Structure 1
Amino acid sequence: MCVHHMMRRMLGILVFAALCLSKAYAGLGVVLTEGGMVEGSHQNTGLFRYVDVFKGIPFAAPPGRFQKPVRHPGWDGVLKVKDYNKRCMQVNLLQNGVVGSEDCLYLNIWVPQGRTVSTGLPVMVWIYGGGFLKGASEGANFLNNYLYDGEEIADRGNVIVVTLSYRLGTLGFVSSGDSELPGNYGLWDQQAGIAWVHRNIKAFGGDPSNITIFGESAGGTSVNFQIISPHNKGLIRRAISQSGVALCPWAINRNPRAYAVEIAKKVGCPTDANMVSCLKRTDAEALTVAGDVALQSSASNPIVHNLKLSPVIDGDFLPAEPDQLFHNAAEIDYIAGVNDMDGHLFATVDIPSINNILVSTPIGDVKKLADALTRDKGTAAGAAAYAEYTSAWGNNPSNSDIKKTVVALETDYIFLVPTQAALYLHAEKATTGRTYSYLFSEPSRNPLFPSWMGADHAEDLQFVFGKPFSTPLGYWPRHRDISGYMIAYWTNFARTGDPNKGESSVPVTWPEFTDTGHTFLELNHNTNANSVKQRLRMRYVYYWTSVYGSLPSIKS
């Protein structure tokens, strides 16, 4: 009887506790936005902690073909926003069909909650990468585990996370090079999403005056475009570009009309004065498939030169060359950095032998690659680049030395040097904005890669989004270390503009990047006082920006 009485009492305590917890998790419930009411779901993340999640809120109307986005007309009743919406239409992996929809301008929100409903939280808006051709606001999905799930960042950093979508490929970036088909529709979509967040995030507990945008690859480049465009004045407080800036060689399409003509021919449109009106009437799927990327690359035809559907200098969103627009970011705090072997992914496509320990990479391939990357400046530039990158080889370079040189050449040209140039420009033009530089060097987890591999392109994403915490069985403790460091630095920065100050402790103070010191932080699981360094690959930055940059371009 005594035991029975104790069990009943324990059960009563548990029921009472459950009721208390359910009351403690008051959360946001139904939220009123400018378009109408939305209702999401919530996820427990710990004792008296959980995250409100809203998936698939429309931030603009279904977009008109080759038109800027406009505000959503709104809806009646309560819109249930518990599932991701369709991604924007894009080519499939085989590039012979499409996935997604033209109606795709939606965003997702994660709001951390404690014992009381959150207010005044910093807001972090994520812009995905994918070469302006592919990607989605939720990211890749494996067993319902989405790459861009904002829960870990929101919960660990006590910030609101937003992920948004934007048009891609032909529908997002084709341009006739004039006002008839100006292009940059995908950038306008991003801007519309950021503006929606600015107008509505207060209802979700966010601080509209403290918005940080962050992104990787084409998303990092987009972040840079957003902060230098005059159209975002007063909307963005801070920004983080991971492996991509506006100065990257693939960030701007210099000859958009030629590619628009190419697409028109593929879909059977004329290439005369009627081209644009025909493109506007053409089936969206056919247009999307026509905007594929040529994957038949080689050392002589590197894939970086085949990324043609990208932003253009349209005289509107981008009124001038990117390097002339950094004054627009003078009051915006900015972090930019790269992965130490960011170019590996591209080098693998151009020269597949670099990953095969049984196959040597011919020295001739390095020469061909140097020539191809510098083709705008003629053969002398290719010879100079080859000499610069092979100067430490000696008479008999090892096979791994040759392979590593290929990766270094592509990393520097595609990502590292443009990022350093963007950091110089931001620091030079900044008034109140602070500048920070990093190098991410956590070795790749891919067991198929060579032993000398560092961090490949996009390998930072899993750590920023806290995958070692949400899927712990797939990682070692050291991976939770680097993930924790990155979330701490990123969310502190979003809160205060200083990655060292906020609610999260960090392993070492990360100094600002200045015109004189060029200080950067090397980020990996062993980040400590020795990780603060200066003048990242200065010899090669100098070569590309000064020596190569001063050579005259040849007429094509």
Structure 2
Amino acid sequence: MLHRSILYLYLLEQYARFCDMFSIVYVVFSCFCAVTLCESDESRLVQLEQGLVRGYKDPELGIYSFYGIPYAKAPTGTDRFKAPLPAPVWSGTFEAVDNETVCPQRNLMNVLPPSYIAKADCLIANIYVPDTNTTNLPVLIIIHGGAYITGFGNMFTPKKITDTKKVISVTFNYRLGPYGFLCLGTKDAPGNAGMKDQAALIRWVNKNIINFGGDPDNIIVSGFSSGASSADFLILSKMTRGYVKKLVPESGSGISPYNIQFDPVENAKQYAKLLGFDNVDDIEALENFYKTIPYDLLNSANVIAIPNSEALMAPCIERDVGEERFLDDSPTNILKRGDFEKVPTLYGFIDLDGLIRFREFDNWKNKMNNKFSEFLPVDLKFENEIEKENVAERVRHFYFGDKPVGVETVLGFVYYLTDVLFAWPILRSVKYQVASGHDQIYLYEYLYFEDSTPFIQGTNVRGANHCAQTFAILDGYWNDTVVYEKDVSEDIKQRKVFMKSIWLNFMLTGKPIPDEGSDLPAWPPVGLDLTPAMSINRTLELKGPLIKERRELWENIYEKHFRQPIPPTLPPKYRHLIGENNELHISS
């Protein structure tokens, strides 16, 4: 609510500066008028330590939107890869109306709005507050996806779910591509700048959300795709320990091969070559190249889909350079030790999540037929090429039988990528967590699709695409244009109501379905045998192990061939870039 005394002093100051020809009586009258205006339904003022912030009421919904509030400041110049700096302060009123700022990136998959403005100083949060006098509301933080190289906070907006008056919602930007995830293990490029942005956002929300009517001790973190893996990492990191109370990762896992760098220095070299820099073996020259290249070129390489599911720019294990680290060990090691907070978690995937890679089908099918081993995930290792080719043939035969990869076997292509990128890493992570004592994980598989969904090429099969459950909960797709769409079918409307009721119940109680008073089937937490799991379609059905045969295939392979990621390793001659540090060794 508006603090009259603060507004009065501010207006008095402005009057003295610009309107000293008027009498003090007029000032008091003007201030009274301003107070009345600000307390109308059109806008709302919130006092933060940074200064006053004004948000505006949505014309269609009963919520107030605060766009573009800086939650931290991105360092600049040669410090651009370091941890974020404290948020700026201001003396006047911050008009929270900027919903166009994004972090520097290549506009892959056309995810950016037409009027976007890419800025290096892009660390902004968007707060959505219901029009209610209720305080201490749960706080939903949504982490956008985009493979850590593209996207922005409001790719989806949580306006409709905020309008239930049961939660306050937050979206935000974080640094992407090499700007956020260059990981050389040096003092100037230690790694995980983008994840440290996310940690700064969590801390900022914890500190400030009470002023918007939110409960700082009831923060729910949700994310989709790479945003889901980010949510996983936030639970594993010591930087955010104690802040997150519930977790909703949607179609993504922190131990997926595309969500962590397995050899960060080698990745930095490969990416630099894509940008036209060849002197990559001189680490000092390589670092200087990254520190001086213009931002628009820095994030210009297209690395959205690599055959072995590798991510050249993603979170990494950091070496010790004498400052706070976001991730100091392998995620699998942390999970196996149980060294993470075991908060209620709603965790699942889409049965056809791999459709996100269907655009690569025509380009990849012949390559898969010629050398399928190139498509084995990057987190596998082999003694020799013969062993690798044998495993590749086993996997190829499992998904495609005796037929080549092509239109006739296109479902094998989709299921293969579903499993490698999403389903198998999620189930593997869940198993590690349950084994370490986590007994509050609710597992699901999402199969719902609209009647208008097209058939997969060459088949009579239709299914939900990657992150379809996110589409059901949040508004729009990449932008706000769908939020107020009037002609959506009743089928879609009912699905959104159905899904929001489940997700909201979890956010409020830590359980997706109440123990009592619900017509829906009971949904117990998952056990070590990965049962039960909920099948979410037009109805709910509790099932046994999901994708059992496919999971068992990968369990056997990963028991023998799993490859741990490593922190950056540099030759001793570059110690002047590193400083005194402790080497980090990751066991197999």
Q: For this structure pair, what is the TM-score category when the shorter chain's length is used for normalisation?
A: 0.7 to 0.9
Q: For residues 283-308 of structure 1, what are the alpha-carbon distances to aligned partners after superposition, in whole Å with 9 as ceiling and x for unaligned?
A: 2222222x43176x6xxxx2723x31
> Residues 474 and 506 of structure 1: is their aligned pair in 2 closer, same or farther, counting only changes over 3 Å?
farther
Distance 1:44-1:286 versus aligned 2 partners, 3 A rule: closer
Distance 1:77 1:179, change over 3 A: closer
In 1, Cα distance between equivalents of 2:520 and 2:195: 36
Residue 485 (str. 1) matches residue 498 (str. 2): yes
The 5-angstrom pairing of residues 400-415 of structure 1 reads 402-415=409-422
Three-state SS of the structure 2 residue aligned to 1:75 is: coil
Contact kept in structure 2, 1:263 and 1:287, CA below 8 Å: no
Aligned match for 1:304, one of 309, 321, 332: 309
1:334 alignment counterpart? 345
The total of aligned residue pairs comes to: 497
Cα distance, 1:151–1:294 mapped onto 2, change above 3 Å? closer
1:357 corresponds to which residue?
none
C-alpha distance in 1 between matches for 2:221 and 2:407: 38
- Per the TM alignment, residue 341 of structure 1 is displaced from its structure 2 partner at its CA by 0.6
Retained in 1: the 8 A contact 2:161–2:473? Answer: yes
1:458 to 467, 470, 482: 467
Q: Which residue matches 2:98?
A: 83
Q: 1:237: Cα distance to partner?
A: 0.5
- CA change 1:328–1:494 in 2 (3 A) is farther
Please say if 1:519 is aligned against 2:527.
no
User: How far apart are the structure 2 equivalents of 1:366 and 1:456?
Assistant: 25
Q: Does 1:54 align with 2:93?
A: no
Q: Classify 1:340/1:227 alpha carbon distance in 2 versus 1 (closer, same or farther; 3 Å).
A: same
1:132 is aligned to 2:148: yes
Equivalent of 2:376, from 345, 370, 373?
373
Give how far 1:517 is off.
5.2
- Which residue is 1:7 aligned to? none
Partner of 2:19: none
Q: Which residue is 1:439 aligned to?
A: 445
SS of the equivalent of 2:465 reads: coil
**Contact 2:41–2:57, Cα closer than 8 Å, also in 1:** no
1:212 is paired with a residue whose SS is strand
- Structure 1: distance between partners of 2:120 and 2:212: 27
Task: Check conservation: 2:368, 2:405, Cα contact below 8 A.
Answer: no
- Residues 387, 155 of structure 1: CA spacing in aligned structure 2 closer, same or farther, 3 A cutoff? same
Paired residue for 1:186? 194
Matched, 1:67 2:82: yes
2:318 matches 1:314: yes
Q: 2:181 aligns with which of 173, 193, 214?
A: 173
2:396 paired with 1:386: yes
Change (3 A) 1:337 1:138: same
Q: Is the 8 A contact 1:466 1:484 kept in 2?
A: no
Secondary structure of the structure 2 residue equivalent to 1:40:
strand
Q: Distance in 1 between matches of 2:453 and 2:445?
A: 19
Q: Which amino acid aligns with 2:82?
A: Q
Aligned-partner Cα distance in 1 for 2:403–2:339: 50
Counterpart-to-counterpart distance in 1, 2:192 and 2:127? 25
Instruction: Report the Cα offset of residue 503 of structure 1.
Output: 13
In 2 relative to 1, CA 494–294 (structure 1 residues): closer, same or farther, beyond 3 Å?
A: closer
User: What TM-score do the two structures reach when normalised by structure 1?
Assistant: 0.81
Give how far 1:232 is off: 0.9
In the TM superposition, residue 267 of structure 1 has moved relative to its aligned partner by 5.3
1:236 matched to which residue of 2? 244
Once the two structures are superposed, what CA deviation does each residue of 1:320-377 show, in whole Å capped at 9, x if it has no partner? Answer: 1101223343331112111111112214314469xxxxxxx78x94684466225744
Distance 2:423 2:215 in 1: 33
Partner of 1:534: 544
Assess if the C-alpha contact under 8 Å between 1:493 and 1:502 holds in 2. no
Q: Contact 1:27–1:113 at 8 Å: present in 2 too?
A: no
Cα 1:92–1:43 shift into 2, 3 Å: closer
State whether residues 235 and 341 of structure 2, in contact with CA within 8 Å, keep that contact through their aligned partners in structure 1.
Answer: no
What is the aligned partner in structure 1 of residue 220 from structure 2?
Answer: 212
- Listed one character per residue, the Cα deviations across residues 370-414 of structure 1 (whole Å, up to 9, x for unaligned) are 6622574401111221233346xxx88998761111111111111
2:302 maps to 1:292: yes
- Partner AA of 2:144 in structure 1: Y
More off after superposition, 120-129 vs 464-473: 464-473
Shift of 1:45: 5.8
**Residues 199-230 of structure 1: CA deviation (Å, up to 9, x unaligned):** 00011111111101101111011110111111
Q: CA deviation at 1:318?
A: 1.1
Give, as a single letter, the amino acid of the residue that structure 2 aligns with 1:475: V
Q: Which whole-Å deviations, capped at 9, do the CAs of 1:6-45 have from their partners, x for residues lacking one? A: xxxxxxxxxxxxxxxx999769821011211101011266
Per-residue deviation, 1:542: 1.7
Moved more, 364-373 or 98-107: 364-373
Confirm or deny: 8 A CA contact 1:351 1:365 kept in the other structure. no
**Structure 2 CA distance for partners of 1:73 and 1:85, relative to 1, 3 Å:** same
3-state SS of paired residue (2:399): helix
Q: Following the alignment from structure 2 to structure 1, what is the Cα–Cα distance between the partners of residues 498 and 363?
A: 33
Q: Indicate conservation of the 8 Å contact 1:215/1:223, yes or no.
A: yes
The alpha-carbon deviation at position 261 of structure 1 amounts to 2.4
Distance 1:423 1:329 in 2: 13
What is the alpha-carbon distance in structure 1 between the residues aligned to residue 513 and residue 59 of structure 2? 28
**1:91, 1:99 within 8 Å by CA — same for their partners in 2?**
no
1:277 lines up with 2:292 in the alignment: no
**Which is further off, 158-167 or 64-73?**
64-73
2-side partners of 1:481 and 1:398: how far apart? 38
Corresponding residue for residue 15 of structure 2? none
RMSD: 3.3
Aligned residue in 2 for 1:200: 208
> Higher RCO, 1 or 2 (CA under 8 Å, sep at least 6)?
2
Secondary structure at 1:508 match in 2 = coil
Contact 2:373 2:389 in 1 (8 A): no
Contact persistence 2:455–2:461 (CA under 8 A):
no
2:363 matches 1:344: no
2:30 equivalent in structure 1: none
Helix, strand or coil at the partner of 1:66? coil
- Report the CA distance between 1:188 and its aligned residue: 0.6
Q: Secondary structure at the match of 1:346?
A: helix
Q: What is the alpha-carbon distance in structure 2 between the residues aligned to residue 247 and residue 286 of structure 1?
A: 29
Contact 2:268 2:312 in 1 (8 A): no
8 Å contact from structure 2 (residues 368, 375) kept in 1: no
* 2:453/2:463 contact within 8 Å kept: no
Change (3 A) 1:267 1:286: farther
Q: 1:497 to 1:430 in 2, by over 3 A?
A: farther
Q: In the alignment, is the contact (CA less than 8 A) between 1:230 and 1:317 conserved in 2?
A: yes
Q: Which stretches in structure 1 are left out of the alignment for 5+ residues?
A: 1-21, 140-147, 354-360
What does residue 260 of structure 1 align with?
A: 268
CA distance in 2, matches of 1:23, 1:275: 53
Shift of 1:553: 6.6
